Chains A and B, each alone.
Chain A
Amino acid sequence: GQNIDQPTEMTATEGAIVQINCTYQTSGFNGLFWYQQHAGEAPTFLSYNVLDGLEEKGRFSSFLSRSKGYSYLLLKELQMKDSASYLCAVNRDDKIIFGKGTRLHILP
């Protein structure tokens, strides 16, 4: 996915916190999305970051550093229903390009 890198899989425990990192090439960068996708379903929008910094939305937060080509999604108070794939996507010259996704497993 045009050099958008994120870990393939992660495992965390119910009630804990997990951080999913994403790095990308900065050329033509306009903004960065995070999506959640449950198996067999369509992706659903979580966040869109344009400016540097942290944006919080309930249990989920997303961070962006434009100069470093780096973002992370932070999930707090993990619940079993958070077991899903998390997709990082870059708005590059108005094309939205996805990374390969991170499959998150939640253990009870």
Chain B
Amino acid sequence: DADVTQTPRNRITKTGKRIMLECSQTKGHDRMYWYRQDPGLGLRLIYYSFDVKDINKGEISDGYSVSRQAQAKFSLSLESAIPNQTALYFCATGDQNAYEQYFGPGTRLTVT
């Protein structure tokens, strides 16, 4: 079984709809991250969390919110999706001692 899972893997939604992307991990890591990846722009940090009570904005948090429901779960929400949020979204986890991030398989989101 994968250590970091993301659901859904693909989603097409319409402008204005609310959508939630979910991430779960079995690695027991405290740190979790959400990134989006666009062609030519690389990975950009949206939000990150160092434990259940800790939520921090990343480089591009506008239009997004997150919830850390448990150590193993970190959800990303788009309250009112817009077309320029079309991207590939990755969740990642990290152990503060190992400094290595483990990425989920990604969610490809299309907003029409």
B binding-site residues for A, Cβ under 8 Å: 33, 35, 40-45, 48, 50, 56, 58-59, 90, 94, 96, 99-106
Contact = CB atoms under 8 A, between A and B. Distances in A.
Interface residues of A, number: 22
A2 B43 contact: no
B1 to A, nearest CB: 15
Interface of A: 1-2, 31, 33, 41-45, 48, 50, 87, 89, 91, 94-101
Given A94-B50, A95-B48, A44 B103 contact: yes
B99 A48 contact: yes
B99 A42 contact: no
Contacts of A42: 90, 103-106
Main secondary structure on chain A at its contact with chain B? strand
Contacts of B96: 94
Contact of B33 (A33, A50, A96, A99): A96
A101 B43 CA distance: 9
Contact of A1 (B33, B42, B102, B106): B42
Given A43-B101, A50-B99, A100-B40, 16 more contacts: A1-B42, A1-B43, A1-B44, A33-B101, A42-B103, A42-B104, A43-B43, A45-B100, A45-B101, A94-B96, A95-B45, A96-B48, A96-B101, A98-B35, A98-B42, A98-B44
